Structure 1
Amino acid sequence: MNKLSAYYQLLRQSVRSLPQQWHKKHLRWSLLVIGLPVSSVMAAYAVTDAAPAAPTYQAEKVIEQLPAILVNSTPANNSYWREEVVQPGDNLSQILNRLGVGERHIQNVLKDNDISHRLLQLKPNQTISVRVGADGDLTDIQFFNDDDNGEKNLVALQKTSGGWQANVGAVDTETLPSFKAVVIKTSARGALAQARVPVEIRESLNELFKDKVELGQLQSGDTIRLIYNSLYFRGQELGTGDILGAEISHNGKIYQAYYFEDSDGNGQYYDLAGQPLKKGFDVQPVARARVSSSFGTRFHPILRTIKMHTGIDYAAPSGTPIVAPSDGVVEEVGYKGGYGNTVVLRHNSSMQTLYAHMSSFGRFGSGSRVKAGDVIGYVGSTGRSTGPHLHYEVRLNGQPVNPVTVALPSRKLDNSQLAEFKTEQQKLDQILATVRDLPITVAQLD
């Protein structure tokens, strides 16, 4: 240790020879820098003096034969759905042929089912869904048939051991929420379509926010987040319900909408504070009438089929006045197939309303302007109708949407309803907030 003592004495003398002020500020750093080799010397002594410990174990190689592992596996269900849009002049045979279905299978589909040929008739722009099994064979065909009466009937064909048959059951349908978060790159409608947001949802979304910001105004970097209901049958999305919650971020500002339905089944959209998002129409088309059939998809317990109702029905005695709920222009007036006596009003460039099954018309011809509250006809039961009522439809760019969300007078919430709304709004907002700052599109592919 003589060398170590001498080294330490040299260190002390060097420090004393420094000016007092420098010594106070930098003594600690000098000790650290010069002391590094000292530590090394001490570490070296420690390593040199320690004797290696004797090994306390001995390595041994052991080989043991294990029994084979048996894994029971089931083949994966690799079936998938394909969709084809009906073109003018198409029939079911041509659609299936385009999807690669063989002629023999097509003939089996057309003859081995108990559905009338009227229901198999197709119209342009309908979507036909087919499911192909793991072996490449066709197993399911389904589409909605429009009966020109404000209802669309689900035609669902399924291949069984005995051939093709209609097989629709309530147990097979379920309603699930769909969540989409979209970042605009070029156009909002294009981005929503790419995220598989249905066209009726896109049109409803535009109508909800058009007083503040329209979809066409959104720019690159703006975002849309929304939650809406979808109806599924055999794993295929059949139709959509109402938008439950939505928000649009544009130029750094967030616009929000939340759906709330009261105990009477009246649903509307409200902002974050619980105030009506839209003013709505001025009056209801039939005053104080009861809604006998609401908008949306439902299972018919007697007919054993799924129906899509494209409007809402008001039950009222024959002859009850029907009024224009808002200013508009009479676009059509006359007999319209299953709708019977019908009036169509246009309210703006994107919105039309339809009134069906009238017993007679008001004193307005095609092209006439009407004001809110003007009588445009009277309740009846013309066309395919089971009794006197008004069938009321709202269409945005040709797509039927729920009238209660965009085309009925707005209702303010009382204190009790406002408390219920806040509870629901907070649940929806938590979901929307999870992707608020993500710079990418998130699409829940159901």
Structure 2
Amino acid sequence: MTGWLDRAAENAHKFAQRNPRAVAAGVMFSLAGFAATAFGVASPSAPGTEIAQQIISEDVQPLPVHEQLEALAAHQLELNRSTAGRANDTADRLLSRLGVNDASAASFLRRERGVRDLLDGRVPRLFTARADESGRLKELVVRMPAERRDQITTHFTRVTLHPAGHGGWKVRREQAQLESQVRLGSGTVRNSLFTATDEAGLPDTIATQLSEMFSEEVDFHREIKKGDTFSVAYETLTADGEPITWNEGAGHLLAAEYINRGRVYQGMWVRDAMGRGAYVGMDGQPKQRSFLASPMEFSRVTSGFAMRMHPILQTMRAHQGVDYGAPVGTPVRTVGSGVVDFAGWRNGFGNVVEIQHDGDRSTLYAHLSRIDVRKGEHVEQGTRIGAVGATGWATGPHLHFEFRIRGVHQDPLQVAKATQTPMASVSRAELQQLATSARTQIAAARSMGAVRAE
């Protein structure tokens, strides 16, 4: 589908380049029969506070057609297009996808050492190009993670390329502030929840938080039903208004509704003055446990917390954790908030991350293929800390996961079931105000879905 749209856009661009007056005439013909109507839209609000709506209509007298045709014909056409970076990008492939036909720009991207990192497929990147009617590049803006690791949650790197005359190019590299935006989304389940959230354009992190918010009320593996609906309001970080594709821990689900088999479930995110946050119902009761049931979204237990035959030493030993089977590279997340106490290599465990939680509790994640956090870093529940691997003493790719309380190993599966997140310290008046706002956001998201369905 994307390829067809790209070809159609390219053909339209070529036609416009050859026939600017024809394009102008077509635009005027399309507008000729229309009068402008202004109308007001009131956003959803609490009962009793509705804003009166008034419709005002006014005929607009356009300028003579020949003057508009002349102005449109003289107007310089410009192409603006955006795309995300791909692993196999080359200068030519990238510019072609952006609709740019500029040998000088392609040559500069290939040869200039200072901009070669823009084509590095290992780094998430967002490209925006502005080209003239002949396809020559007028500006290329690249947005990617901040160069300093301690700024990755607050800033991004913006690289801007401009023609400088005589075949030269000017490059400006700067750090810019990430901005927070509240967005709405809704959808209907036809196959699986994550397929539906993808269709609704929700980030994967928000889809995961949605399933975790209602995990105590809905079994998303067995109880999900075709026709279930969801409506959400969520916070996301943006770079120049574009949602970022990196920093998976960024963004919170602020309010959500899930309707399962006709039963309505609602929840919201509450944060107190101390910065502590929790998912609660509209009545303020906690909806989330202190520790997630699993360090991965999708996995299977291959070895539980019990005596077993050690696969390498071939002796009976107590298995003081849980093994989860999953392909190499599968994201691993922390099951609870805390501080990274260790991140590095540890003998037979290979790559290890150990996190210290409140209440003398700690968790360990072993055999990782990579580590995405550093010692001393604070991590929130659900933050990606690494990926599944087979480092150390491992017969195959898997995650070894341990849970300790005051240094004593515990069964992680039982701990997750027995703990519940304490309620954030918020007054009843604040809670009622937050609940009213959450219901308004949910109603707005639900209305968007209804309009889209029509």
Q: Using structure 2 for the length normalisation, give the TM-score.
A: 0.51
Describe the shift of the 1:432–1:207 C-alpha distance in structure 2 as closer, same or farther (beyond 3 A): same
Give 1:104's aligned residue.
104
Once the two structures are superposed, residues 262-311 of structure 1 have per-residue CA deviations (whole angstroms, 9 ceiling, x without a partner) of 112222211111111112129xxxxxxxxxxxxxxxxxxxxxxxxxxxxx
- Cα distance in 2 for partners of 1:369, 1:154 equals 28
Find the aligned partners of 2:447 and 2:441 in 1 and give their Cα distance.
Answer: 13
In the alignment, which of 406, 411, 414 is matched to residue 422 of structure 2?
Answer: 411
* Contact 1:248/1:255 (<8 A) preserved: yes
Residue 389 of structure 1 aligns with which residue?
A: 376
Distance 1:272 1:157, change over 3 A: same
> How do 1:309-388 residues align onto structure 2 when only pairs under 5 Å count?
355=340, 358=343, 373=361
Give the distance between the partners of 2:353 and 2:274, measured in 1 at CA.
35
Q: Deviations over 1:158-196 (max 9, x none)?
A: 23353342344647x532211112122333322221221
User: Which residue of the partner structure matches residue 195 of structure 1?
Assistant: 200
Counterpart in the other structure of 2:209: 204
Please say if residues 330 and 345 of structure 1, whose CA atoms lie closer than 8 Å, have aligned partners that are also in contact: no
Counterpart for residue 269 of structure 2? 259
CA RMSD between the two structures:
5.3
Deviations 1:327-350 (A, max 9, x none): 75599xxxxxxxxxxxx97889xx
Matched residue type, 1:264:
M
Give secondary structure in 2 for the equivalent of 1:420: helix
In the TM superposition, residue 85 of structure 1 has moved relative to its aligned partner by: 5.1
Preserved contact between residue 176 and residue 231 of structure 1 (Cα < 8 Å)? yes
User: How many Å separate the matches in 2 of 1:431 and 1:243?
Assistant: 12
- 2:304 aligns to what? none
- Give the Cα–Cα distance (whole angstroms) in 2 for the partners of residues 105 and 213 of structure 1: 53
Instruction: Find the counterpart in structure 1 of residue 159 from structure 2.
Output: 157
Which of 117, 128, 131 does residue 130 from structure 1 map onto?
A: 128
2-structure distance, mates of 1:119, 1:420? 46
Q: Give CA deviations for 1:374-399 in whole Å, capped at 9, x if unaligned.
A: 5859xxxxx999x9724547339969
The residue aligned with 1:222 is 228
Q: 2:341 touches 2:375 (CA, 8 Å); kept in 1?
A: no
Displacement of 1:112: 6.2
Tell me the CA shift for residue 229 of structure 1.
1.6
Unaligned runs of 5+ in 2: 1-62, 293-319, 326-330, 366-370, 389-415
Equivalent residues in 2 for 1:36-75, closer than 5 Å? none
TM-score (norm 1): 0.52
Structure with the greater alpha carbon radius of gyration: 1
The count of aligned residue pairs is 303
**CA 1:91–1:267: 2 relative to 1, 3 Å:** farther
What is the rounded CA distance, in whole Å, between the counterparts of 1:270 and 1:359 in structure 2? Answer: 36
1:218 maps to a residue whose letter is I
**Of the two structures, which has the highest relative contact order with CA contacts closer than 8 Å and spacing of 6 or more?**
1
- Alpha-carbon distance between aligned partners in 2 of 1:167 and 1:147, rounded to the nearest angstrom: 11
Matches of 2:332 and 2:112, distance apart in 1:
44
Q: Distance between the aligned counterparts of 1:131 and 1:212, measured in 2?
A: 46
Give the superposition deviation at 1:233. Answer: 2.8
1:157 aligns to what SS in structure 2? Answer: strand
Q: Percent identity?
A: 17
Q: Is the 8 A contact 1:206 1:215 kept in 2?
A: yes
Q: Secondary structure at the match of 1:389?
A: coil
**Structure 1: runs of 5+ lacking an equivalent:** 1-66, 283-325, 332-343, 378-382, 400-405
State the one-letter code of the partner of 2:121: L
CA shift, 1:241, in A, is 1.4
Structure-1 residue corresponding to 2:240: 234
CA distance in 2, matches of 1:369, 1:186: 37
Give the 5 Å matches for 1:64-103.
Answer: 80-84=80-84, 86-87=86-87, 90=89, 94-102=93-101, 103=103
Task: Choose the corresponding residue for 1:249, options 250, 259, 265.
Answer: 259
**Cα gap change, 1:145 to 1:119, in 2 (>3 Å):** farther
Aligned-residue offset at 1:228 = 1.0
